[in-house]
Chains A and B, each alone.
Chain A
């Protein structure tokens, strides 16, 4: 199965020749001017995502306006309730658009995370585990348990875990390999 990795548009802006030194909290990987240009992008969303969220919100606002106008002109409670339901549906519609927006961005971020893990650990050997273990490991300072092939423990000195140890130490499952 082939997974299409989305590559959102990267704005090709010209780097600023300010000559200022990057602040200490900026990662070294971001200090290059070339990287700085590439970071000036629109985020993890595609044009279709923007269309859906803007369309959903516009539709919801339009429906809400119509229902507000219609409900305000009614003097009968049962008629007003129909407009109220229409308003609720409008808000729900726009909420679906917003939820789609967030989920789409989250999905792209997860794909990017997987890409980073793959690039970082491409040439690293997986952690070695003694035969007969439960197949779960952790390393010093970690609060999660991992599979031996997990990129987050690649090359680290790990110790084997069993169910009792995991429960006793309160370890949580890894978000990448679990």
Chain B
């Protein structure tokens, strides 16, 4: 799989990793900024900008990763349903399709 194919097929996971990295860097910068001063009035802006933005990016990354899993699961299920409906696939006695798709255990 070349780079462009990987980017196209796993764009959501790559974006998730990027968002988490950005979030962690933002949190680190916020920590460094807060620890650099002892005045609360100077610390609060770091909490708002770096801290909350870092948390926001971590949330975005998590949602992107989970949505990538959901998309993969949905594609697999949809392929199974199309195969069953249109190609008349049958179910073996052990609960598996006559192809390689496991129905469930």
Contact = CB atoms under 8 A, between A and B. Distances in A.
Interface of A: 27-30, 32, 35, 38-39, 41, 43-44, 53, 57, 60-61, 64, 67-68, 71-72, 74-77, 80-81, 83-84, 87-88, 90-91, 94-95, 98, 101-102, 105-106, 108-109, 112-113, 115-117, 119-121, 124, 141-143, 151-156, 176
B74 A152 contact: no
Contact of A152 (B63, B93, B95): B95
A136 B90 CA distance: 26
A28 B99 contact: yes
A124 B91 contact: yes
Contacts of A41: 75, 78
Contacts of B94: 156
A32 B91 CA distance: 19
A38 B78 contact: yes
Interface of B: 40-41, 44-45, 47-49, 52-53, 55-56, 59-60, 62-63, 66-67, 70-71, 73-85, 87, 89, 91, 93-95, 97, 99-101, 103-105
B104 A28 contact: no
B90 to A, nearest CB: 9
Given A27-B99, A116-B84, A120-B103, A106 B70 contact: yes
Given A38-B78, A72-B49, 5 more contacts: A29-B82, A43-B71, A83-B44, A112-B74, A116-B81
Contact of A83 (B48, B62, B73, B99): B48
B61 to A, nearest CB: 10
